Amino acid sequence: MPHIASRYLAEGPRVAIRHFSHDDSAEFTARVRESKELHQPWLFPPDTASAYAAYAGRLIEDPTKAGFLVCEKDDGGSIAGYININNIVRGAFQSGALGYGAFAHAAGRGLMREGLGLVVDHAFGPLGLHRLEINAQPANTASLALARSCGFRLEGFSPAMLHIDGAWRDHERWALTAEMRARAPRQD
């Protein structure tokens, strides 16, 4: 499958990452609808074609964002989840904020951990970023476990940080720098 492999930015043993495309709408939105119980109340990704078009358009066109699909290699490239780098700031900061979600069929299988490792390497490599942050609600144990397993360190707590699902939600702030990643033992 050389034509499929060429779409990928990076590959691990079980997953590969690639950018979003408008052609992913049907699969992505179907996976979102299947995963509603897993995602809410934490995430509200687009579940219609029109919402996906706007969402993907921002990830594709906005230089302060980079969106990645985590695809299963043994399943014909089906989408296991997504990881976005938002609020990319250049200059002296060279930083971005990560947001991510696994789809129900892939949850709990370690695919997102592998995918996040690939995205972090891409961010600190070709994208030239120095720092990545994850903000997660304290009760979102799966998100916190993913951050921890990928070497992010807890840096603080922010009350009423983000407006999600109609209310201002507290968040834990986790971060990783390029130097921390270079020193950490690889877990791929």
Q: Tens digits of per-residue pLDDT, 12-52?
A: 999 999 999 999 999 999 999 999 999 989 899 999 999 99
Q: Tens digits of per-residue pLDDT, 112-124?
A: 999 999 999 999 9
Q: Domains in the chain and their CATH numbers?
A: 2-183 (3.40.630.30)
For the chain, what percent of residues have pLDDT higher than 70?
Answer: 95
Secondary structure element (H or E) that encloses residue 96, with its range: strand 95-102
Inter-residue contact 14 to 72 (CB < 8 Å)? yes
Interstrand relation of 131-136 and 95-102 (parallel, antiparallel or unpaired): parallel
Check residue 61 and give its pLDDT: 95
